[in-house]
């Protein structure tokens, strides 16, 4: 079987099964959340922009992939539909950088850290163990998850590549 790298855009999500892998780029203050079932070799990735769907403007169609509180629930549903086993789900996350420094640091400006906190809270609420993370700092990231090895590859500008 030929391996395909499935690309996930900003405020988007997708699910893959081995031998395919899944990748997203442009994780600044955004958080990449990978939820996977190691035994079924199924993984989903959400590129989350904001911590809470209550921040949505207006009452237009809600993009569930954009928010931590809605994306993680939808990703779990999608994984279970594709054959993952609920009690075998685990998570790895990356991103949540503080990309800009402001003279006056208000809570509203802490988007990266707030995203990380929201993602961790949602994973805890769903009883999904967080196995590894590379969060914070001030560098953007590109991540790729390989379901057959359960390795999350992380690349940051001016840093050594990481594997978690």
Residues labelled as active-site residues: 30
CA distances to 35, 52, 57, 62, 164 from 145, rounded to whole Å, are 10, 25, 32, 27, 10
Q: What's the angle, vertex CA 88, arms to CA 85 and CA 92, rounded to 5?
A: 120
Main-chain dihedrals φ then ψ at residue 75, nearest 5 degrees: -60, -40
Indicate the Cα dihedral angle 149, 150, 155, 159, nearest 10°: -90
Closest CA to 141 of 114, 164, 108: 164
């Amino acid at each position: 079987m030929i391996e395909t790298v499935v690309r996930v855009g900003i405020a988007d999500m997708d699910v893959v099964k081995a031998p395919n892998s899944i990748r997203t780029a442009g994780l600044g203050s955004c958080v990449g959340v990978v939820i996977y079932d190691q035994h079924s070799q199924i993984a989903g990735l959400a590129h989350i922009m904001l911590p809470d769907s209550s921040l949505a403007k207006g009452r237009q169609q809600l993009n569930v992939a954009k928010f931590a509180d809605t994306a993680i629930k939808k990703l779990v549903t999608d994984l279970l539909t594709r054959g993952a086993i609920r009690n075998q789900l685990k998570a790895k996350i990356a991103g949540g950088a503080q990309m800009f420094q402001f003279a006056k640091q208000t809570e509203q400006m802490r988007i990266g850290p707030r995203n990380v906190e929201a993602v961790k809270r949602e994973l805890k609420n769903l009883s999904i163990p967080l196995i590894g993370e590379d969060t914070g700092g001030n560098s953007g990231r590109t991540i790729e998850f390989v379901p057959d090895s359960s390795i999350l590859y992380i690349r940051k500008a001016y840093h050594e590549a990481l594997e978690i």
